[in-house]
């Protein structure tokens, strides 16, 4: 294989170079592509390992993932042990300091080991009582579902079925979201209003997180030009009742979070070829990590269900209950209408200050029109 120019930084070429180095050391096909052959041939390393060249690769893989092994000397000492344990804890592997196949995979490919056991999933399919039993019998505890959509949107009946079966749910909002033109400040405002309205109708408790989807391989420039303005629009509408999450490639999640527009990431790591995944670190605030898409799980009694597999970090709780329908805010309807008027004013004049927007709302109310 030809030489790969690398800069030593955490990027696509450096990661590919490490895979090539590992493949050469473990005597498999050297192509820089992570596959079952490479995974299955990965050796187990631990404290005191004598395979110095492999430890060098391990040390650098830890470093580009944000975990300092305390030097590059080919020795598996205390610094490497600590870095391995910290990395394993971060990606929700057993934190034992021993580098086996799953640790190698998590270090060198975004989705890690596709066959690892996970407790969460997401799906566009309705969760019936039978589907809930399929999930439970396959070891799943949490399911991600879409807030809206005529064919895949949540209903209160479905939510009650999920919760009554002892499962929990996390919320995804996606309308289009597959190309850059779907992301503007104005669309962010509109989508936020729709998501909040849908979640409140479903009696979702306050402080629950809604993950807004960026379902394409957004480049860094596109994140700046489209994705960040979109989330700024979402942020301008959210008032603290619900929390904002982001679904997308690692770079999308990290940059939206760095701008203060999301508290949690649902990472599209199954798309390892995305430019925003290869060479980027897993976001520090990840809660769900999608590692496999479109797999079918089965149960001999209840049938089959198409899902995506998600690792769950436990950093943020999923929804495990609904608001009591008898509990209401006597001013809630009025406040909701005022908020909708404010959002309409912002759509009308997106560059206006808050004071100017408030004035527009008051002017509307003075006309004595019906809210």
Sequence-ordered alpha helix ranges (H) in the chain? 12-25, 36-41, 52-64, 78-90, 101-108, 129-137, 156-164, 185-201, 220-222, 228-237, 250-258, 332-348, 354-366
pLDDT at 120: 98
pLDDT at 34: 95
Rounded distance, CA 104 to CA 38, Å? Answer: 10
| DSSP reduced 3-state for 109 | coil
Q: Which residue has the tokens 């650098």?
A: 60
List the structure tokens of 149: 């959509």
Rounded distance, CA 306 to CA 288, Å? Answer: 18
CB atoms within 10 A of CB 301: 9
| DSSP reduced 3-state for 152 | coil
Considering the segment(s) 12-108 as one domain, its CATH architecture is Orthogonal Bundle (1.10)
Residue 224 gets which letter from DSSP? I
> Of 196, 313, 234, which Cα lies nearest the Cα of 266?
313
pLDDT at 163: 98
Domain boundaries 120-312, CATH class: alpha beta
Tell me phi and psi for residue 246, to 5 degrees: -130, 135
Residue pair 106/86 in contact (Cβ under 8 Å)? The answer is no
pLDDT at 260: 98
Q: What is the pLDDT along the chain (371 residues), one digit of tens a residue?
A: 555 566 666 678 899 999 999 999 999 999 999 999 999 999 999 999 999 999 999 999 999 999 999 999 999 999 999 999 999 999 999 999 999 999 999 999 999 999 999 999 999 999 999 999 999 999 999 999 999 987 789 999 999 999 999 999 999 999 887 899 999 999 999 999 999 999 999 999 999 999 999 999 999 999 999 999 999 999 999 989 999 999 999 999 999 999 999 999 999 999 999 999 999 999 999 999 999 999 999 999 999 999 999 999 999 999 999 999 754 454 566 777 787 888 888 888 888 887 788 888 888 777 644 44
Residue pair 265/286 in contact (Cβ under 8 Å)? The answer is yes
Residue 89 gets which letter from DSSP? H
pLDDT at 7: 61
Residue 45 gets which letter from DSSP? B
- Between the CA of residue 89 and those of 103, 141, 155, what are the distances in Å? 11, 20, 36
Percent helix, strand, coil in the chain, to 5, is 40, 15, 45
Enumerate residues 6+ apart whose C-beta is below 8 A from 316. Answer: 209, 243, 263, 264, 287
| pTM for the model | 0.87
Strand pairing category for 303-312 and 120-122: antiparallel
All structural domains of the chain with their residue ranges:
12-108, 120-312, 332-366
Enumerate residues 6+ apart whose C-beta is below 8 A from 261. Answer: 228, 231, 232, 234, 235, 244, 246
Rounded distance, CA 269 to CA 276, Å? Answer: 10
């Amino acid at each position: 294989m030809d030489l790969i120019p690398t800069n030593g930084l955490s990027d696509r070429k450096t990661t590919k170079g490490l895979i090539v180095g590992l493949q050469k050391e473990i005597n498999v096909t050297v192509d820089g592509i992570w596959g079952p052959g490479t995974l299955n041939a990965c050796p187990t390393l631990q404290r005191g390992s004598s395979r110095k060249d492999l430890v060098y690769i391990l040390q650098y893989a830890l470093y580009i993932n944000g975990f300092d092994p305390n030097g590059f000397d080919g020795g598996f000492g205390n610094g490497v042990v600590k870095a391995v344990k910290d990395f394993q804890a971060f990606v929700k592997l057993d934190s034992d300091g021993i580098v086996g196949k799953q640790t190698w995979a998590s270090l060198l490919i975004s989705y890690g080991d596709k066959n690892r056991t996970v407790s969460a999933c997401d799906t566009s399919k309705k969760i019936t009582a039978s589907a809930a039993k399929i999930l439970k019998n396959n070891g799943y505890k949490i399911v991600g579902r879409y807030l809206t959509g005529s064919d895949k949107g949540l209903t209160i009946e479905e939510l009650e079925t999920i919760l009554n079966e002892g499962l929990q749910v996390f919320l995804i909002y996606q309308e289009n979201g597959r190309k850059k033109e779907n992301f503007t400040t104005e669309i962010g405002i509109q989508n936020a209003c729709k998501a909040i309205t849908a979640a409140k109708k479903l009696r979702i408790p306050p402080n629950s997180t809604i993950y807004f989807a960026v379902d394409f391989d957004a480049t860094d420039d596109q994140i700046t030009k489209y994705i960040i303005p979109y989330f700024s629009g979402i942020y301008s509408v959210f008032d603290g009742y619900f929390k904002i999450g982001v679904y997308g490639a690692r770079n999308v999640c990290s940059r939206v979070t760095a701008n203060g527009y999301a508290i949690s990431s649902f990472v599209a790591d199954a798309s390892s070829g995305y430019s925003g995944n290869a060479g980027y670190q897993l976001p520090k605030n990840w809660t769900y990590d999608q590692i496999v898409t479109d797999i079918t799980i089965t149960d001999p009694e209840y049938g089959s269900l198409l899902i995506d597999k998600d690792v769950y970090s436990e950093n943020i709780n999923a929804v495990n209950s609904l608001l009591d329908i008898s509990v209401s805010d006597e001013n809630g309807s009025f406040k909701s209408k005022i908020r909708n008027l404010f959002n309409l004013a912002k759509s009308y004049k997106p560059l206006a200050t808050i004071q100017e927007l408030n004035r527009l709302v008051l002017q509307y109310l003075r006309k004595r029109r019906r809210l």
